[in-house]
Amino acid sequence: MTASPPPPGPSSRRPLGFDDFVGILVAFLVLGSIFFWSFGRRTQGFNIFSAFAPAAQPAASPALDLFGRDDDEATPSPTPTVGATTPATVPIPGVLVPTATPTPQVGVVAPAGTIASPTVTPTANLPDAEPTFSDVPATYWAYPFIEALAKRDIVRGFADRTFRPDQPVNRAEFAALIESTFENAPQQRNPVDFNDVPQGFWAIPAINRAFSSGFMEGYPGNVFRPGQQIPRVQAIASLAKGLGLTPSGDVNAIVQRFQDADQIPNWATDKVAAATASRIVVNHPNLNALEPNRPTTRAEAAALLYQALAQRQAVEPIESQYIVNP
């Protein structure tokens, strides 16, 4: 007889109670929360090492100032640091910002590659052929004498930059030339108040100087005749007298070299001879014609005065074909 299996005993699984159901529900809720949390972190670049690395700082929202402007509008851009490329230079008030190609100032050496200001040509490099006076060109016979005296401020021209070399010289003007040429001449006698020289006359100091130094004389009657054109013989004789020159040799033999020697006044013969022997006499255009009674021109006066200075070795000699050699 076959044995029958034993009857099933009571089941080992007990039915879920209310508490079990609540626990399962809570577990599912926790797992779902974890799932949704981890999925949301992936959108922000989830890092498995985030627990050990510092969390990235979120970008701060721009702050607003009192006028509703954000910081980018309210605050100007910071000044670039040294070495940063700046699109434009902002000048500081009161400070001159040099331009791209500054003009060098006086005494500043322009750097290489910079075009400096035009250099002023030194006076020493300028040609000295340009005459001082417009009517005395370098080809004029008395140009060397006039130019040399003008540079020494002994002779002067007129306001229109002319010298008027062929204009006659009167006695007052010649006295002024004597004064400016021989300003250190010693006084030999007291000046005289000439009757025909009014008070306040422009040439009174020059006349007094020319007379007291022995260069010029008056006329009988205590007159000077300041406006009289001075003859060549007077100009030559006054220089010889003022310089104290005396002829060496036969006076007549010296003056006879002039083809018009017979026109020389007797009182002036020895003085003309002394001036001739000292190379003071200058005759233009004819070297052998003294023309003693012709009025002295401004050019001739300049030539005579220069030769008088050369006789005193106060200036360098000038070579001229019109200087009379003894």
Residues 164 and 275 in one domain: yes
Are 163 and 272 within one domain? Answer: yes
In a domain, 273, yes or no: yes
On the CB side of 48, CA atoms within 13 Å amount to 0
Q: How far apart are CA 18 and CA 26, in angstroms?
A: 13
Whether the pLDDT of residue 104 is over 80: the answer is no
Region of poorest pLDDT, from 114-118, 125-129, 179-183: 114-118
**Which tokens go with 131?**
């005459």
Residue 279 is assigned to a structural domain of this protein: yes
Confidence of residue 78 (pLDDT cuts 50, 70, 90): very low
Does a structural domain hold residue 136? no
Helix (H, G, I), strand (E, B) or coil at 154: coil
Final residue of a domain: which of 228, 246, 265? 228
Are 192 and 241 contained in the same domain? no
Q: Which pLDDT does position 35 carry in this prediction?
A: 63
Sign of the Cα torsion 218, 221, 226, 231 reads negative
Does residue 163 sit in the same domain as residue 309?
A: yes
Whether the bond between 285 and the residue before it is cis, its omega within 30 degrees of 0, is: yes
**pLDDT for position 144:** 98
**More reliable by pLDDT, 260 or 7:** 260
Domains contained in the chain, number: 2
What tokens were used for 88?
Answer: 């434009």
CB atoms within 10 A of CB 141: 18
Is residue 306's pLDDT more than 50? yes
Report how far residue 151's alpha carbon sits from residue 153's, in angstroms, rounded to the nearest whole number.
5
DSSP string, 177-223: HHHHHSTTPPP-S-----TTS-TT-TTHHHHHHHHHTTS---BTTTB
Is there a single domain that holds both residue 241 and residue 165? yes
pTM of this prediction?
Answer: 0.62
Task: Indicate whether 213 and 304 sit together in one domain.
Answer: no
- Domain extent for 241: 152-169+231-326
What would the pLDDT profile of 150-189 be if each residue is shown by its tens digit?
Answer: 999 999 999 999 999 999 999 999 999 999 999 999 999 9
pLDDT of residue 30: 67
Given 212, 228, 244, the domain boundary residue is: 228
In degrees rounded to 5, what are phi and psi of residue 277? Answer: -65, -25
Q: Categorize the per-residue pLDDT at 222 as very low, low, confident or very high, splitting at 50, 70 and 90.
A: very high
Q: Name the token pair of 81.
A: 């640091």
Residue with tokens 């005579």: 304
The per-residue pLDDT for range 194-219, each reduced to its tens digit, is 999 999 999 999 999 999 999 999 99
